[in-house]
Chain A
Amino acid sequence: MADDSDELLVAQAKAGSKEAYGKLVDRHYEMVYGLSYGVLNHRESSLDVTQEVFLKVFADLEKYQGRSKFKTWLYRVAVNAAIDCRRRIRYTDSIDLTDVSDDEDRAPLVIPDPKQDPLESAAQSEMRDGIEKALNQLSPDQRAVLTLREWQGFSYEEIAEALHIEIGTVMSRLFYARRRLAEVLGVRYKEEVL
């Protein structure tokens, strides 16, 4: 419905409607959280970044000129906030994001399905651990590209626009991220990115 387009809601939010901005938050919250989680791999930090992003965007809404889609602009802010958070944490060592062993916030609680085959369940658990291990070996920038491409389905151009980088950089980061993921999970990766 045209009345619910992002651009119209942004215009209403600029005019002071918190309710309109609330609709935008409701619409994009999971995507921003997923993006943050893809970069940080930590639930609480990702939730903090998500809320911080929405508050920052609301405060800076006047700066949005409408040259790109609101979604692209929002994701750019989210990715940058998540990367900044990751670097900040790394420098201050306030949270050890690389320690998988005793951090309950790292992965969501998964209740095993009683109908599921135990072997299949074990394989999924092993796969999840492998993914976490692989993600920990990637830089925040590579994780951001991987998340935008594989989870959000962004094109190379959209990723380049969102992250303010060249398309060639997008391709190389994506190639390295995919290869690392595959290697850790025991799959030889020689596929060309293109």
Chain B
Amino acid sequence: MRRSKLALPALLAASALVLSGCATSSGELTLTVPDVPMKAELGAFEGELNIVNWSGFVDPKWVDPFTAETGCVVNSRVAGTSDEMVTLMRTGEYDIVSASGDAALRLIVGGDVAPLNMDLIPNFSDEIAEGMKGQIYDVVNGKPYGVPIGRGANLLQYNETVTGGAPESWDVVWEADSPYAGKITAYDAPIYIADAAVYLMSTKPELGITNPYALDETQLAAAVELLKQQNTIIGEYWSDPVAQITSFVGGNTVVGTSWEILKKFAAQENLKTTLPKEGSTGWYDTWLVSTTSPNSNCAYAWIDYTSQASVNGAIAMNFGMAPANIAFCATDADTQAHCDQFAAEDEAFWDQVWPWTTPIEECVDGRTDVKCTSFQDWTNAWVTVKG
């Protein structure tokens, strides 16, 4: 399946994308973003750095050397959801966040995070996986806002004892006549609407969806319709990893959305994951720096430090995702095994994955004749799906 990616003409990727034949993203898509100045040069370290992060991104193993080197004492706050991340960042108490794409664009458009001066982050290099460069959720209007950390795909996990083999299509979680009705799980967040859109792209081409994050009102209505149909056959929605794992292990769920790492944690032979033919969505995490950060020198130092292969890889392995810096893969046999399991170097795999992006009113697929639905519309819609 050939698919052109969301990437905007930005950074190095610009010319390559125009040639990719992607009509929608070849034009200069300009978003309305508050004008936030970029840091010009590094100064003295402030001695403190406050981070909002996903569990596992900040660990003494790599924080201690950083503090020893820079004198920046790292205080971390673990957020459970993207919504919490955005709320915590808007308190102004935090300097830096490890946001996923569904939170990143919200923060960028809201002016909560500042564009980055990449000259001050020398470790951000060519070794960053091609598919993680210049994505719309972290590069807007040609200005980079985020530095990639790692990524993971939303895969279809199945209990092989029950299904017999790998389902080829997502239809087992969407269609009302699914043999696993009542034993299906789905991700519990508005961003999951994009998964419905991905399925509709192949099953209902007449809707004309070209990007699951650029849905006009009719397209969103169709996705919501599909989600409501799914609601009747769903066993449970999950947003907590432990809950999802116990659901598969405890027999409540047979098929549903999952991450490679959750399958690994479940540690059961009969639980497997697959990427169905329709493709899927995925989360791409990046470091973003607060506009009002009083500790921006420490923040830049942290981003630079965590962009080097060894630290970036350690974060990726600790959390369980594909590292952004693929130079890490060749370190030793263990790291190579990790990269292979999480498809870190397999761009063909990631070509089928749509990175989470906050939907906004300006269509991110480049359409200018219609208004797209924003994340706020999605959130309202999600409430009605769950009823």
Asked whether A and B interact, the reply is: no
